Structure 1
Amino acid sequence: MSAQLFVVATPIGHLDDITYRAIEVLKSVSIIAAEDTRTSAQLLKHFNINTPLTACHEHNESNKIDLLIQRLVNGENMALISDAGTPLISDPGFKLVRAAQENGIRVIPVPGACAAIAALSAVGLPSDRFSFEGFLPSKQSQRLLHLNRLKDETQTLIIYEAPHRILDCVQDMADVFGADRPVGFAREITKTFETIKKMTLGALVEFIKNDHHQQKGEIVLVIGGATVEKDLEQEKLDQLLTRLLQDLSVKAASQLAADLTGIKKKVAYQRALELTDKA
């Protein structure tokens, strides 16, 4: 009978952020697949976990999947961890998890730290709708192209960036999104030199320029979504609802409008009722 694959979140800095359940799982499984066995060995040593480690990273994951799946099929419970945080979130592991699912192996998440969510929770920008974009392209031409695709998105954007590219990245964002766009800057979350600030992209460029320490460590950027003129937004909603109400009930039309535009269903429903009364 095949065993289980546990996807285990580990601390992103402060070691106390590991959960009791994560420790127990890491102790109980037969083997731990880790992004970097050297990094993970230090974590295991701290918590007196003696489970064997095997490397599973972006350079060997494809070639190692068959071996790992066979061990699971043979009944060995396995844990998957990354260097820090939740596996698969801009970290390796997707291919292994997909292969496990395809082979009928139960995949069990063990939740915990995630830099993207931690940053979002602390910077004071809207969190009801957001998209995680991971790392932007390293080449400026490709990065600018990607940012231009995102500039009109109205949801909050979460982006990881390497310290040696952070200044160029934020400058490109200011150029594409506008210097007045709000941004949350979260660096070294849960670590000794944790920095969490909210400002405009233009101000962030100057902040990073004037303090070279801000170009070090793990960095998360949380960018406010594009604002839409209310009158234009209302006009588009009215046009959409008017067309949908020709074929659908108020309830169905408002639900579909909410799905398509991202506005709250209650708002779409109320407006649909108003349009119906005017008809």
Structure 2
Amino acid sequence: MQQVSSFNNEQTGRLYLVPTPIGNLDDMTFRAIKTLRAVDLIAAEDTRHTQQLLNHFEITTRQISFHEHNTEQRIPELLAKLKAGQQIAQCSDAGMPSISDPGKELVAAAVAAGIPVVPLPGANAGLTALIASGLAPQPFYFYGFLERKHQQQVSELQALVNRPETMIFYEAPHRLKKTLATLAEVLGNDRQAVLARELTKRYEEFSRGTLAELRDYFIDHQPRGEFVVLVAGNDHPADEQGAGEGTPVEQVDQEIERGLSTNAAIKLVAKRNRLNRQDLYREYHHIGE
């Protein structure tokens, strides 16, 4: 078992994981400011964006870029600096490092090298939205961003359709409409959901309703700002390994009554009963009879 205290390895530097505000700069903690001032180097997702934060708090620490496109290049460089005794803070543009943001590869590399990793608490969009959503706050299941292509989203959501926990997703405004449509298609029109946008900012807003209601609302309204999408868990999860109630065709009708689209219901029932999806599709639609 590897155990490294943040205070017992004085020959190397420490990697500090520093959360930054998700909107309101007043959410920056005293400890975060103190840490960014004290370290030798800040590894930032976007140095231009982070510079605005540093300027606001009069922090003059030098920066280096660290983002998803230069991870392989930067990690050896940052590890070398840490092993030489430099103190490094890593931060993303907003919120917690590594949570749908850069950081996890650097943390894993530091841990593997025996370098102390020091996490600071701070703002997180998913939890901030969850506690004000009105949905069950625990247990919850954090997913983050879904894949962008429709069929990939369908596959991801089919694996989540029976989860009883409140689910937390992130989505960009230009993809929100399509994602809401897919959520309704797979999880069901009647599933309760909450959209949180512009959290901690001046135009913070929560929209609550069924997935169908939220989908239809944004047909005529343009999404603005970054969104947290919270979806209620399934309060009647089907037994993935069991045969369900009735014939497969009857089970498809039951899932449609619960709000799933016909195709999503066929896929779910086929998986539940270990049937060929195309065979069930033909049987349900009386193809070839």
User: TM-score under structure 1 normalisation?
Assistant: 0.80
The match for 1:185 among 188, 195, 216 is 195
The match for 1:222 among 216, 230, 238 is 230
Match of 1:21 in 2: 31
Match of 2:273 in 1: none
Q: Aligned runs of 1:57-72 on 2, under 5 Å? A: 57-72=67-82
Task: Give the match's secondary structure for 1:199.
Answer: strand
The match for 2:56 among 46, 64, 80 is 46
Task: Give the match's secondary structure for 2:55.
Answer: helix
Task: Tell me the CA shift for residue 229 of structure 1.
Answer: 7.3
1-structure distance, mates of 2:151, 2:110: 37
The match for 1:164 among 160, 174, 184 is 174
Task: Give the match's secondary structure for 1:210.
Answer: coil
In structure 1, list runs of 5 or more residues that go unmatched.
233-279
In structure 2, list runs of 5 or more residues that go unmatched.
1-10, 240-289
Q: Which amino acid aligns with 1:68?
A: L
2-structure distance, mates of 1:199, 1:31: 45
Match of 1:262 in 2: none
Task: Give the match's secondary structure for 1:24.
Answer: helix
Q: Is the 8 A contact 2:163 2:237 kept in 1?
A: no
Task: Give the match's secondary structure for 1:66.
Answer: helix
Match of 1:55 in 2: 65
2-structure distance, mates of 1:194, 1:88: 24
Moved over 3 A (4+): none
Q: Is the 8 A contact 1:123 1:197 kept in 2?
A: no
2-structure distance, mates of 1:16, 1:210: 34
1:156-181 deviation per Cα after TM superposition (whole angstroms, max 9, x unaligned) = 11001111110110011111111110
Number of aligned pairs?
Answer: 229
Match of 1:244 in 2: none
Task: Tell me the CA shift for residue 210 of structure 1.
Answer: 2.8
The match for 1:195 among 191, 205, 209 is 205
1-structure distance, mates of 2:36, 2:68: 22
2-structure distance, mates of 1:208, 1:187: 13
Q: Which amino acid aligns with 2:168?
A: I
Matched, 1:118 2:128: yes
Task: Tell me the CA shift for residue 154 of structure 1.
Answer: 0.8
Q: 1:218 to 1:229 in 2, by over 3 A?
A: closer
Q: 1:22 to 1:104 in 2, by over 3 A?
A: same
Task: Tell me the CA shift for residue 228 of structure 1.
Answer: 2.0
Task: Give the match's secondary structure for 2:218.
Answer: helix
Q: Is the 8 A contact 1:100 1:107 kept in 2?
A: yes
User: TM-score under structure 2 normalisation?
Assistant: 0.77
The percent identity for this pair of structures is 44
Matched, 1:73 2:83: yes
2-structure distance, mates of 1:207, 1:24: 44
Match of 1:97 in 2: 107
2-structure distance, mates of 1:209, 1:121: 27
Task: Give the match's secondary structure for 1:150.
Answer: coil
Greater share of helix? 1
1-structure distance, mates of 2:121, 2:219: 36
Task: Tell me the CA shift for residue 198 of structure 1.
Answer: 2.0
Q: Is the 8 A contact 2:16 2:120 kept in 1?
A: yes
Task: Tell me the CA shift for residue 191 of structure 1.
Answer: 1.2
Match of 1:7 in 2: 17
